[in-house]
Chains A and B, each alone.
Chain A
Amino acid sequence: AQSVAQPEDQVNVAEGNPLTVKCTYSVSGNPYLFWYVQYPNRGLQFLLKYITGDNLVKGSYGFEAEFNKSQTSFHLKKPSALVSDSALYFCAVRDLRWGSASKIIFGSGTRLSIRP
């Protein structure tokens, strides 16, 4: 069965420092991987995705993520954090096996807190 793990409930970073939010996945086939962000009292917004090709993908608001097939990871990164990056972040995976491609599995979420 496919699954997504976000091992950290909370990540605290000082403004201006680099940040990493971790995500590991387990699927039987090849994955499509996504990151979403949720600001307070809002729905989720798409940040970036990995489909194929370059393992380093760039997304909105200066975020990027690196796909690592051997470690089955898709960590979200940003070189210099902003206070406005404080939010709840979700990793999600879609398995490409036929019949399960339409199911989407989300991680439990990581709350990112950037202190001034």
Chain B
Amino acid sequence: EAQVTQNPRYLITVTGKKLTVTCSQNMNHEYMSWYRQDPGLGLRQIYYSMNVEVTDKGDVPEGYKVSRKEKRNFPLILESPSPNQTSLYFCASSLGHSSSNEQFFGPGTRLTVL
């Protein structure tokens, strides 16, 4: 089944404790992206990747890192999480570089930083 998977689905952590949220897609998509969803703000793009070893900042990259060493994986790293990073996070992927392609979303990761 074609899908985007994220792990973990739920995470409660404390301020300053490094964490990684994994994202993997099995559709051979070039483009991958991370978003955070907050009430009243919709989805905001954190980072995106056009292909392996190519990443770029979205609109809210502060406090986050990403890497794209393999085509299928695009982990999101929070080196020192803070409470304002409590949010619902989504990974997404799409085929090719064309802007016309729709995205496929993972199920989401709900992160709470105490």
User: Would you give the 0/1 interface string for A28-59, flagging 1 where the beta carbon is closer than 8 Å to chain B?
Assistant: 00001010100001111110010100000000
Candidate in A34, A103, A104, A105 with the most chain B CB atoms within 10 angstroms: A104
Assess the B50–A102 pair: CB atoms within 8 A. yes
Candidate in A43, A46, A90, A92 with the most chain B CB atoms within 10 angstroms: A43
Stretch of A13-21, A63-71, A73-81, A106-114 that contacts chain B: A106-114
A residues at B contact (CB < 8 Å): 6, 9, 32, 34, 36, 41-46, 49, 51, 90, 92, 94, 96, 101-109
Q: Which of B48, B58, B102 contacts A49 (CB 8 A)?
A: B102
Q: Does B81 contact A (CB under 8 A)?
A: no
Q: Does B84 contact A (CB under 8 A)?
A: no
Q: Which of A49, A90, A94 contacts B42 (CB 8 A)?
A: A90
Candidate in A9, A32, A44, A90 with the most chain B CB atoms within 10 angstroms: A44
Residue of A nearest to B58 (CB): A103
Interface size on B, residues (CB 8 A): 27
Residue of B nearest to A101 (CB): B99
Question: Which residues of the partner chain A approach B33 to less than 8 Å between Cβ atoms?
Answer: 104
Question: Which residues of the partner chain A approach B107 to less than 8 Å between Cβ atoms?
Answer: 42-43
Q: Which of B58, B97, B102 contacts A34 (CB 8 A)?
A: B102
Question: Which residues of the partner chain B approach A105 to less than 8 Å between Cβ atoms?
Answer: 45, 59
Assess the B106–A43 pair: CB atoms within 8 A. yes
User: Would you give the 0/1 interface string for B79-90, flagging 1 where the beta carbon is closer than 8 Å to chain A?
Assistant: 000000000001
* B1-60 CB contacts (< 8 Å) to partner A: 4, 31, 33, 35, 40-45, 48, 50, 56, 58-59
Q: Which of B44, B45, B90, B100 contacts A44 (CB 8 A)?
A: B90
